[in-house]
Amino acid sequence: MTESFGTRLRARLDKYGPLCVGLDPGPDLLHAWGLDDSPAGLERFSRGVVDAVSDLAAVVKPQSAYYERWGSRGIAVLERTIADLRDAGPLVLLDANRGDTGGPMAAYAEAYLDRGSPLAADAVTFHPYFGFGSLAGAITSALASDAGVFVLARTGARLQEAAAGEIYEGVRAANADREPLGSVGVVVGASVADPGYPLDRLNGPVLVPGAEGSTPAEVGRVFGAARHAVLPSVSRALLGEQSGLRARTERYRDECVHHLSP
């Protein structure tokens, strides 16, 4: 890749609209699709979602935990799903929420951000609760690989309130002078009424999990001046049943375009 993640994301948002489809294949979701809770069911579900939404969503976000619970068989499905998504077109955001210091953080970065890794994604979620500085190596690795990082900032936990200022300022510094969009984003929950910071100053994307509990119009009102960089993440409201998945995704995407595009 020769373009930064922020550049690729901005182009994808402009072409396809601001929508992230969360791939959260828990047992109840597999059963709702008439599938066994097994690695085979996991793979059929994942392939079905890839086929249905890859030309509708800017980003698809597999939640690593739902694959990891099957050990090596589940990780193999995750590797194939990432490869399928890359072939189909949407950017892949791996929802791993890793965080550590030193060598372990470097190993996480190698696993998820190194271009030669079978788990390499376009971007990965990390948590900053060893201090924002603990993410420096991951951010450096991401930028060197033209990948992105999304840092948990405000998702409703009280612990996050104390660290939010440091996180926002760190992200703003990492994205300074990046055009058209920085490659370091934040994660701010849809239920957070006040992000506690003017997010348009971050010059980076804002991932909004839990957006299925809000309409795109409500998300637009909450995020105001930053809405052009907002990426609502929706999972079960779209994926709850296989029938009609593509039509539901297209309708929700169109609402996002109407209320969140520049």
pLDDT in tens, 173-186: 999 999 999 999 99
Specify the pLDDT at position 196: 82
215-262 pLDDT, tens digit each:
999 999 989 899 999 999 999 999 999 999 999 999 999 999 999 987
> 72: how many CB neighbours lie within 10 A of its CB?
9
Q: What is the average pLDDT across 15-34?
A: 97
Specify the pLDDT at position 164: 85
Residue 239: both structure tokens together: 């994926």
Q: Is the pLDDT of residue 1 over 70?
A: no
Average pLDDT, the chain: 94
Q: What is the average pLDDT across 203-222?
A: 91
More confident call, 161 vs 203: 203
Residues 6+ apart with CB under 8 A from 251: none
How large a percentage of the chain has pLDDT more than 70?
A: 97
- Using DSSP's 3-state secondary structure scheme, residue 99 falls into coil
What is this structure's pTM? 0.95
More confident call, 159 vs 155: 155
- The DSSP result for 30-95, as a single string, is HHHTT--SSHHHHHHHHHHHHHHHTTT-SEEEEBHHHHHTTHHHHHHHHHHHHHHHHHH--EEEEE
More confident call, 72 vs 154: 72
Specify the pLDDT at position 242: 95
Specify the pLDDT at position 46: 98
92-144 pLDDT, tens digit each:
999 999 999 999 999 999 999 999 999 999 999 999 989 999 999 999 999 99
Specify the pLDDT at position 82: 98
Specify the pLDDT at position 161: 72
Q: Residue 114 corresponds to which amino acid? A: D
DSSP code of 120?
-
Query: Which of the four pLDDT bands, split at 50, 70 and 90, describes residue 157?
Result: low
Residue 6: both structure tokens together: 């922020």
Is residue 141 within 8 Å of 113, Cβ to Cβ?
yes
CATH numbers and ranges of domains, the chain: 5-260 (3.20.20.70)
Specify the pLDDT at position 170: 96
More confident call, 160 vs 69: 69
Specify the pLDDT at position 76: 98
Q: What is the average pLDDT across 146-170?
A: 85
Q: Is the pLDDT of residue 154 over 90?
A: no
Query: Which of the four pLDDT bands, split at 50, 70 and 90, describes residue 72?
Result: very high
Q: Is the pLDDT of residue 158 over 70?
A: no
